[in-house]
Each structure stands twice: as C-alpha cells, then as structure tokens.
Amino acid sequence: MSGFRLDRVATLYLFAPLQRRSRRLDQSSVPILMYHSISHGDDSSVHPYYRIQTTPEVFAQHMVFLRDHGYRSVNVQQAVDILRGEGTATGKPVVLTFDDGYADFYREAFPVLAQYGFTATVYLPTAYIGDSRRSFKGHECLTWNEVRQLQTHGITFGSHTMTHPQLQLLSQAEVQRELHDSRATIEDAVGTSVSSFAYPFAFPHAHASFCRFLRETLEAYRYRNGVCTIIGTARTSDDVFFLRRLPVNSADDLALFGAKLEGSYDWLGKIQAGFKKAKRVSSFNSVAEHRFPAVSR
C-alpha cells in the first residue's frame, strides 16, 4: 500500500490496541463486508476509502484470511438472528455482500468463494440485469441465467432498487415503485422470495422522517432485513433494515482487513454520522425533508 491513509493509521495504531485491551468483541456484533466489483479496473485516481474495485488476487487473500482466522459465512437473516440471540454460528460469523450485480462476481468472486466454502448475498439493481448482458457504471452486469445458476449453488440475491437512484430525492410513490418492482422482478426471475434490501448511495440516517417512511415501506413489501452504507460492524442496537457494513476494496491490506473485522474501524462511523448531521441544513437534504415531512405519532 502506498501513500498516507489517515483512517488506516488511526485504526491500526489507536483503535485496534484499544479494542484488544477492552476485549469488547463478542456475539453482540457481526461484520458485514461490502464489496462491489472484483476486477482489475484502475481506480487509483479515487481515494482508497471510496474505491469500489477489489482485484481477484486481493479478494482471494481476504478469503484465505477469513478461513485461516475461523470465520464462517452466514446470510443477513442469520446474522440478524445471531444479534438477537436467536441463532448460533459455527466459528466467527461474517456476512459477505456484493452490491450492483456485476458480472465479475460470476467470473471472479464465486469460484473463490466456492473454493473456501463461503456463501454471499448479491444485491441487484434490476434495471441492469437482463436475459442479455447489460452494463452499469461501466461494468458488465450479471444475466438472469447466471443469477439462477448462482442461486443453485447457495448464493442469495437481494434488492438494490431498480435503477439505483438516490431514493431521498424521489417522491414517495417513486420510492415505493423502486422497492416493490425490484423485489417482484427478482422473485419472478428466480422463483424464490426476496427478503433483503441494500440501500444505494450514502445512507441519510440523519433524516428521521425519510428513514421512517423507508422502513415502513420495506416492511409493507415483506422485506425482513436490509443493509446500508453506515460504517461499522452490525450490532444488536442496529435497526434490522439498516444494518451497518464495512466497505472493502483493493486498498485494504490484511492488517486493515483484520482490524475492520474485529470492530476497530467502527470509530469512523461516528465521524460519518457527525458529518452528515452537520450537512443536514444543505439544500440537498432540504429536498428530502420536504418530500418526506415529519409525522407526529
């Protein structure tokens, strides 16, 4: 890894030692890893924190690390059950998630997962998944035939909306359509129910009225759980529809990768939350408050 990276230094040399001394890691938290593309694309111009690409070689190193350190993959609902004290896992539980439905999951990620005995959840933006190959953000996406093949080998699929919009900028009816139609499309294509949802873009958790509407809509459309981009290990205090995740990419060497799994990267989630609260007065956020006004209860 080249260049100075503040989040890495703070995690490894401040928060990881504190974590080890406090011995706070237990089954009240489960790491949910957030991958996107497993490919050799060049995103070196992007700050390491924001990259969405992980090379196949680094991904394989991550999976070896998980195997060697006693991690066993579970799906999102199993993680929720563990957090509630209603389920158990053999070994240390970890959830592997992949956003955006890229075709390189089929070509690069799945063979490695199968080699090391791991499962995963892939979140599909259904407008970009077709019987023939489509693309999203310059990446080829899975076809429905590949989705069905992967499902027979234990891969779970969830909704990532239809068109991957910034939901808080839409009307309530448009949000409902994105959540309902994406779920129905996947279920029609694969023949099994869809229970999990991944929020696209940065999660606006500072906006209580929008989050309340989103949660109620997810419940109404029979989702059981969801994940978002709030940084941290998922904990018992999390809303099951907005579970925290840990972003992962090629810039994560094994030292940082291990520290993230242990909860030593969770500090950044608090910084993230404070920053978003400070931005709440911006015009971007005012749009969400206007379209999703607070309701009294």
In a domain, 43, yes or no: yes
In a domain, 93, yes or no: yes
Q: What is the CATH number for 240?
A: 3.20.20.370
Contact 54, 35 (CB under 8 A): yes
List the domain range (segments joined by +) for residue 159: 25-291
In a domain, 16, yes or no: no
Give the pLDDT of residue 283: 46
In a domain, 7, yes or no: no
Q: What is the dihedral of CA 149, 155, 158, 160, to 10 degrees?
A: -80
Tally of domains in the chain: 1
SS3 23: coil
b/e per residue, 133-147, with b = 16+ CB within 10 A?
A: ebebeebbbbbbebb
In a domain, 1, yes or no: no
User: Which two structure tokens, joined as six digits, stand for 110?
Assistant: 């799945």
Give the pLDDT of residue 279: 64
Give the pLDDT of residue 259: 97
In a domain, 297, yes or no: no
Give the pLDDT of residue 60: 98
In a domain, 6, yes or no: no
In a domain, 10, yes or no: no
Largest CA distance in the chain: 53
pLDDT in tens, the chain (297 residues): 456 789 999 999 999 999 887 755 455 899 999 999 999 988 888 888 889 999 999 999 999 999 999 999 999 999 999 999 998 778 899 999 999 999 999 999 999 999 999 999 999 999 999 999 999 999 999 999 999 999 999 999 999 999 999 999 999 999 999 999 999 999 999 999 999 999 999 999 889 999 999 999 999 999 999 999 999 999 999 999 999 999 999 999 999 999 999 999 999 998 887 766 666 545 445 555 556 654 332
